[in-house]
Structure 1
């Protein structure tokens, strides 16, 4: 049995960030069942600091947890208008990276959500549904072993 070549996720998200002029692109992967299927941010491009590495999310919690649980993309065009400031602690990547316009899409492998790809800006209303749709179409050839499965309307956090 021949080993598959290792995919360079860092290079892929660097290229996506540059192509779409995002301030941040990051990937969270689901950890094993022994880790209770938590999500952790593994790769980041354009990050302000290393805090993303310490964020651990459970299914349904945080932006990545919501996308993981529902299997659907989420778009927050304006964090200040769409999220309660008292609720931001539930979205640690948004707070840590000072994102004001953000979207996240599921990465599918073998008919399961195996990861979440997040992209965002540090200015409000920069990420629109059409821009996120365009980004989502670009993911499949860019993120190697993963698929985006379906292009659909985005869920709202509210």
Structure 2
């Protein structure tokens, strides 16, 4: 078994936030918990508090849960227009970090989604489809131990 180099995800979060001028960048990872898997936000850059550390999501719940379940990126250009205010409790990271425009991508390990990378702004309409696509292209295929895009390998 090859030794994987230690990857400093916190440093990468900081670099992504600076490079793309995001207000907030975070990574959620799958945590095994009593035969069911949950997602927790493990790393963050630009956070306004530590509440993200206490958020626990199940597959299909919240942004990370939906991206994890579907394996597809998710873009919310304007939280106020795209999510009913009464439904915001389903998106605790949006509330905790006061995000108004955000996107999330799955992080793959082999053929399974093992994490979610979320990027966002605290102003509306800062992240549109074009900017989100540029971000995804800009981070490249590999992201530490993960693949930032679904890749078919022989």
Tell me if TM exceeds 0.5.
yes
Give 1:106 deviation, angstroms. Answer: 0.3
Q: 2 CA distance for matches of 1:2 and 1:71?
A: 27
Aligned to 1:129: 129
- Runs ≥4 residues deviating over 3 A: none
Distance 1:89 1:116, change over 3 A: same
Q: 2 CA distance for matches of 1:35 and 1:77?
A: 35
1:26-56 CA distances to partner (integer Å, 9 max, x unpaired)? 0000112536210000000000000000000
1:47-97 CA distances to partner (integer Å, 9 max, x unpaired)? 000000000000000000000000000000000000000000000000000
Q: 1 CA distance for matches of 2:128 and 2:72?
A: 16
CA contact (8 A) 2:142 2:148 kept: no
Q: 2 CA distance for matches of 1:148 and 1:33?
A: 24
Aligned to 1:62: 62
TM-score for both structures, normalised by structure 2: 0.92
Aligned to 1:19: 19
TM-score for both structures, normalised by structure 1: 0.90
Aligned to 1:45: 45
Unaligned stretches of 5+ in structure 2? none
Unaligned stretches of 5+ in structure 1? 152-158
Q: 1 CA distance for matches of 2:49 and 2:122?
A: 14
CA contact (8 A) 1:26 1:43 kept: yes
CA contact (8 A) 2:31 2:38 kept: yes
More strand by share: 2
Distance 1:48 1:142, change over 3 A: farther
Aligned to 1:156: none
Secondary structure of 2:108's match?
strand
CA contact (8 A) 1:59 1:65 kept: yes
Aligned to 2:97: 97
Please identify, of 44-53 and 136-145, the stretch whose mean Cα deviation from structure 2 is larger.
136-145
